[in-house]
Chains A and B, each alone.
Chain A
Amino acid sequence: MIEMKYEIVIGLEVHAELSTKSKIYCSCTTEFGGEPNTHCCPICTGMPGTLPVLNKNVVEYAIKAGLATNCQISGFSKQDRKNYFYPDLPKAYQISQYDLPVCKNGYIDIEFDDQHKRIGLTRIHIEEDAGKLFHDEMDAGSLIDYNRCGVPLIEIVSEPDMRSSMEAKIFLEKLKAILEYIDVSDCKMQEGSLRADVNVSVRPFGQRKFGTRTEMKNLNSFKAIIRAIEGESRRQIELIESGTKIIQETRRWDDNKGVSYSMRSKEEAHDYRYFPEPDLVPIVIDEGWIEEVRNLLPELPHERKKRYTIEFLLPEYDASVLTSSKHLADYFEQVTAICCNPKLASNWIMGELMRILKAKELEFSEIPISAEYLAKLLILIDKGKVNGTTAKKIFGIILETGKDPELIVSEQGLEAVCDEGAIVMIVNRVIEANNKSVLDYMNGKDKALGFIVGQCMKESKGKADAKVINRILKEQLEKLTDNS
Chain B
Amino acid sequence: MKIKIDNIKNSALLARLIFSDEEIVKLTTEMENILLFFDKINELDTSNVEPTAHVMNLTNVFREDVQKESFDRNQILSNASSHQGGCFSIAKVL
Q: Are A56 and B90 in contact (CB under 8 A)?
A: no
With A56-B62, A141-B91 given, is the CB distance from A28 to B86 under 8 Å?
no
Docked Cα-Cα span, A268 to B70, in Å, equals: 36
Q: Is the CB of A35 within 8 A of B70?
A: no
Q: Which of B19-27, B33-41, B71-79 contacts A (4 or more CB under 8 A)?
A: B71-79
> Given that A40-B70, A278-B53 are known contacts, is A27 also in contact with B87, CB under 8 Å in the complex?
no
Q: Whole-angstrom distance between the alpha carbons of A55 and B65 in the complex?
A: 6
A29 and B63 within 8 A (CB): no
Which A residues touch B63, using CB under 8 A? 22, 27, 53-56
B14-58 interface bits toward A, Cβ cutoff 8 Å, 1 = contact, 0 = none: 101000000000000000000000000000000000000110001
Q: Does B81 contact A (CB under 8 A)?
A: no
Contact A136 B84 (CB under 8 A): yes
Name the residue of chain B whose CB is nearest to the CB of A23: B67
**Which size class do B's interface residues fall under?**
20 to 34
- Cα–Cα distance between A278 and B13 once the two chains are bound (Å): 24
Q: Are B62 and A53 in contact (CB under 8 A)?
A: yes
CA distance A30 to B65 in the complex (A): 11
For residue A379, give the distance in angstroms from its CB to the closest CB of chain B.
41
CB neighbours (8 Å) of A284 from chain B are 59-60
* Cβ–Cβ contact A54 & B88, under 8 A: no
Could you say which of A20, A36, A273, A278 contacts B87, with CB atoms under 8 Å apart? A36
Question: Are B67 and A28 interface neighbours, CB within 8 A?
Answer: yes
| Contacting residue for A144 out of B58, B62, B65, B87, CB 8 A | B87
Answer whether residue A21 sits at the interface, using C-beta atoms and an 8 A cutoff.
yes
Given A29-B67, A40-B76, A282-B54: A35 and B59 interface contact (C-beta under 8 Å): no
**Which among B10, B16, B58, B68 is the interface contact of A27 at CB below 8 angstroms?**
B68
Known contacts A55-B63, A282-B54: A37-B92 contact under CB 8 Å: no
Indicate if B1 sits at the interface (CB-CB under 8 A): no
Contact B70 A276 (CB under 8 A): no
In this complex, what residue of A is CB-closest to B71?
A41
| A38 on interface, CB distance cutoff 8 Å | yes
Residues of chain A contacted by B61 (CB below 8 angstroms):
53-54, 280-281
| Chain A residues whose CB sits within 8 angstroms of the CB of B70 once the complex forms | 28-29, 38-41
Q: How far is the CB of B58 from chain A (nearest CB, A)?
A: 4
Chain B residue at smallest Cβ distance from A281: B58
Q: How far is the CA of A31 from the CA of B33 in the complex (A)?
A: 52
Please determine whether B76 and A21 come into contact, CB atoms closer than 8 angstroms: no
Cα distance A139–B92 in the bound complex, in angstroms: 8
Give me the 8 closest cross-chain CB pairs, A-B, nearest first.
Answer: A56-B62, A27-B68, A143-B87, A57-B65, A276-B53, A36-B86, A141-B91, A144-B88
Which B residues have a C-beta under 8 Å from some C-beta of A? Answer: 10, 13-14, 16, 53-54, 58-68, 70-71, 73, 76-77, 84-93
Chain A positions within 8 Å of B, measured between CB atoms, are 20-22, 27-30, 35-42, 45, 53-59, 78, 83, 85, 87, 136, 139-146, 267-268, 271, 273, 276, 278, 280-284
Would you mind naming 6 contact pairs between A and B with Cβ atoms under 8 Å apart? A21-B66, A37-B87, A140-B93, A142-B90, A273-B14, A284-B60
